Amino acid sequence: MEAFESAARQHESSGKRAIIVGAGIAGLAAALRLHQQGWDIVVIEHAPSRRSSGYLLNLHGPGYDAAERLGLIPALTPRDIGFFTSVLVHADGREKLRIPAAVTEAAVGNRALSMFRGDLESALYDAVAESADIRFGTTVRAIAQTPGQVAVTLSDDTRLHADLLIGADGVHSRVRELVFGAESEYFVDLGHMVGAFPLETPPAHLPDGFGTTYIGPGRTAAVMNLGPKRSSTFFAYRCPDPDTELTLGPAPALTRAFGDLGGGVAEALPQLDANPGTAYFDSVGQIVMDRWSQGRVVLLGDAAWCVTVFAGYGAALALDGADQLGTALAAHNDVPAALTTWETTLRPEVKKRQSLARKGIARFAPPTRTHVWAGELALRAIQLPGIRTLVHRSIQRANN
């Protein structure tokens, strides 16, 4: 009974309102966290409906801890795909070496979840759908502030007022553009492209619970067979002209970059050609800003920092950032002061993850065949018990 009464008090209205732009991981996590603190929430999303695709992501360390504090673990656990056997292959699909699922599990530990981005977003959406006013197919037209509130004009001419505006609308953030300036001032192009799409039909030659990865100079292609409606691809490649690739679109661009490969890649690419709308496809770049807030407006997730998929930590940092934002707002009655405290706390972790991502590019797009060979040697070594222990300790240090 005491637990029920505590939960009820936790959700009593605080009389405060937050407008959150973006219904992705960062935005929905912030909506959940602030709702738990009694805030009234309005979520603005430019897409006409929810999106359910995306690449595979991992939650461990602070990301798993944040999901636990947000109360998401019971909803996420059934969506966890667990660990799978990873097979490194030649360009024609022949096996080079394999890393059993047990090896990866031993290195990462048991406080970890692997799932598709859309599954995490679905769990977050389900957690806030009944409590937040979520408006799809809507964009922000104008933002104005006074010391006591922020006013937002929407594309349907609605005008909303709130105590806080959170821009969680991704790397191409409209909120950032309106309040902080053009994207070109903050976007750092890393000269690579990434693509991912689900597979309606898993590759016939690839057993359930297996994934194949080809790593060659300047590119990586991975295909995962995790069962019906759970199979997907991931591609990354070096690219000096991202605008040309984006103009081409995912199917022609990925086919041009990876069409010479055999195995699962050869089976997967025609599926994208038949249904290109399912793909995530974008250039790789980081957002680098001296400050993430201005008055009562704050940026969160990719809109503020975008560590990129090369960091392997974007979703975890979005959850942790949203959770820490809620903590700062609970500790300060003054919103701008809370935002300053939050940023001071979080910025060192963001800086570290961005640096690791830049260093990690060589894993996804090795500069030379020598780098490819060195990477393969490391993968072989990780299967040795002593090296596996060192890797586990290294992962734990990185998460602390």
Instruction: Specify the CATH number for the domain of residue 92.
Output: 3.30.9.30
Q: What is the pLDDT of residue 28?
A: 98
Q: What is the pLDDT of residue 354?
A: 94
Same-domain status, 75 and 203: no
Q: What is the pLDDT of residue 381?
A: 75
Residue 217 vs residues 88, 214, 251, 360: alpha-carbon distances, Å? 14, 10, 21, 14
What is the H or E stretch that residue 45 is in?
A: strand 40-45
Same-domain status, 76 and 93: no
Q: What is the pLDDT of residue 389?
A: 47
Gap between the Cα atoms of 29 and 76, Å rounded: 13
| Nearby residues of 153 by Cβ (< 8 Å), 6 or more positions away | 140, 141, 142, 143, 144, 159
Same-domain status, 68 and 132: yes
State pTM to two decimals.
0.87
Q: What is the pLDDT of residue 277?
A: 83
Residue 13 vs residues 9, 34, 40: alpha-carbon distances, Å? 9, 10, 7
Same-domain status, 51 and 143: yes
Gap between the Cα atoms of 289 and 170, Å rounded: 14
Residues in the chain with pLDDT values less than 70: 1-14, 52-54, 103-109, 382-400
Same-domain status, 268 and 221: yes
Rounded to the nearest 10 degrees, how much is the dihedral formed by the CA atoms of 199, 201, 204, 207? 60
Same-domain status, 277 and 387: yes
Structural domain boundaries enclosing 207: 85-112+195-283+363-398
Q: What is the pLDDT of residue 150?
A: 97
Q: What is the pLDDT of residue 347?
A: 96
Gap between the Cα atoms of 1 and 3, Å rounded: 5
Same-domain status, 240 and 279: yes
3-state SS assignment for residue 185:
helix
Q: What tokens appear for 323 in the block?
A: 């959770």
Q: How many CB atoms lie within 10 A of CB 302?
A: 24
Q: What tokens appear for 94 in the block?
A: 């022949």
Q: How many domains does the chain have?
A: 2
